[in-house]
Structure 1
Amino acid sequence: MLGEDVVQGLCSLTVLDAGICGTSIRDTSSATDTRRLARLLVKAGVDIILFAGGDGTARDVLDSIGGAIPVLGIPSGVKIYSSVFALTPTTAGSLAASWLTGEERAVAERDVVDIDEELLRAGLASPALYGTLSVPVDPSRLQSRKAATPASDANAVAALARAFVRGMESNRTYILGPGGTTNAIGAVLGLATTRLGVDVVRNGVLVTADADAHALEAMLDADFNGGPATVVLTPLGGQGFVVGRGNQQVTARLLSHVPLQIVATDGKLSSLAGRPLWVDSGDDEVDAKLNGYAKVFTGAGTHTVYPVRRVFEETQGTTTTKEY
């Protein structure tokens, strides 16, 4: 179903009145369509553009309209490192509504970043500033920009990886999520794990490289060959998302049956400046289960008890966090 069809259906059910900008797109859309439609929306005189996607879509919007009008990203891509996105689709809607009905309509310039995936796979890249877009001001409902791992933290990452490997149990399946920290664990094991993917390891052997959600859930159905399993994830530096950003292969169903171990250096946790780790699995029960406090593995014999929160929920226009 096309977005146009959804909007027209809503218009028939509510007082919503919407016009369709430009010609319909009935085939596979592309970045060219995104840029063209953004320019048409500016020409039509809209107050704000909401766009759904990831960092690539943010770049397309920036390329096409620059800072002509405010924008707000609805997080729905794989890479969501930029700080022009709301925490969730729900918070995007509530932020846009409160901004449109407000008197000041304050905006701030926030970063659009992107990353060269091929270089990242080789461990040679970090998110680079591509430009800035004007975004409604509300830090509580906007995500932060992903922070690159500083060179000074490299030794800490390597030490954490060595310590984690020393504690790995025989016959336990480890599902290593994306990221430099988990990739370092694979490197200590001497395995060619995928920096952007999810890898399955057992008894020092790479069982499956770059596993997708179907493969992981098939292993779950097979009870991981009758042995225990652990999902190992590291948060996005500077943002704090540990579930639901860049690791969508790790599904809510998997997390409902397999325990989660979070790994992060003290430096990465410090980069959050007191903000919690965020979980957004797409399943309320799973997020509620993860909400609270977690023991984050930070190195040899050390753990940090750190707050984990499900992403903001909107209750009658008021942003709150649920406690369990």
Structure 2
Amino acid sequence: MKIGLVLNPLAGIGGPAGLKGSDGVSQWALKRGSLSQVGLRVKICLKEFLPLPKNVSLFTFPGEMGANVCRDLDLPCTIVGSINTSTTAVDTKRAIRTFAELGVDLILFAGGDGTARDLCDTVCLEQIVLGIPCGVKMHSGVFAINPRAAGRLVRELVLGKLFSVMDAEVRDIDEMELRLGRINAKYYGRLCVPAELEYLQTTKSGGREVEEIVLQEIAAEVIDNMSLDTTYIIGAGTTTAVLMDKLGIENTLLGIDVIRDKRLVAGDVTENDLYKIVSNHLDVKIVITVIGGQGHLFGRGNQQFSPRVIRSIGINNIIVIATKTKLKKLNGRPIFVDTGDLDLDIELCELKRIITGYEESTLLRVSN
């Protein structure tokens, strides 16, 4: 697992100075004698998940953007990038882009709403982030309730526990307006954050999911996000069968079908058929489920998804669907891949977002 840590060292510095925030007034706040509390708050967070497990790599930026607090805690880390003498949003965005290029599973950032906006401007919605609250106002929903809570949330994640994720709003107040006594809060965007939620939620019956309803919700979530110019390869199984049924398309229960514009293109295809199809279409996605009990994603009953097919489609174009009841029956085990190509299996090993309901998903680690 890879974690990217970035600090906005000037976050919250305007609060003690009575400046209603820090955006654009950090030097003024420093002249008033304000001291940054970001490093102290980040240390509180980091101590909650020390020592780092051997399978966790921490990346951070130099100096006050992360390396200093890691050094103070004797926390092993890889320092990447460079910063200006006086850090700005440009440095934050550079760090975030660097983390994205490194393929980190989680960006842990310390700051306020302004920092959250920097992330919103820079990362894709699939990138999981978590905010350590260090700002003045913080109206966004991407922050933990306090630094200790952020650390405990990360600890759960690095220990490999099943995690839900959700899209949370980024909101910001115009601080110049606020200083003039006018509150002008507005929606800025959304970020993907871990969610500390009950394992079974929203759709319950006697404490358990109503399987049929949940399957319909999963199908609705996939269909609502389908693009007419995208080719979808639908994997085998009863979970994906509900999706095909909702589309009104006859499916191959134990085979693989191809659809486009919500119509059947090819049914019960072979590996060779698939490779020809993906070679002739630019935008292709796989919709697949986990084998119940076993937990296999590839390599069991769906060998049509060969290494060359998966590589042609791209590992970021794999949509996984499953009910949380099915995932719970894995008893904490990860999802497995066995494509026959060790290098590809290693590439597939990541925290995978699994659609578990309508506008609801869960994170589970893929292993080989």
User: Normalising TM by the smaller chain, what interval?
Assistant: 0.3 to 0.5
Q: Under a length normalisation based on structure 2, what TM-score does the superposition of the two structures give?
A: 0.42
Higher radius of gyration, 1 or 2: 2
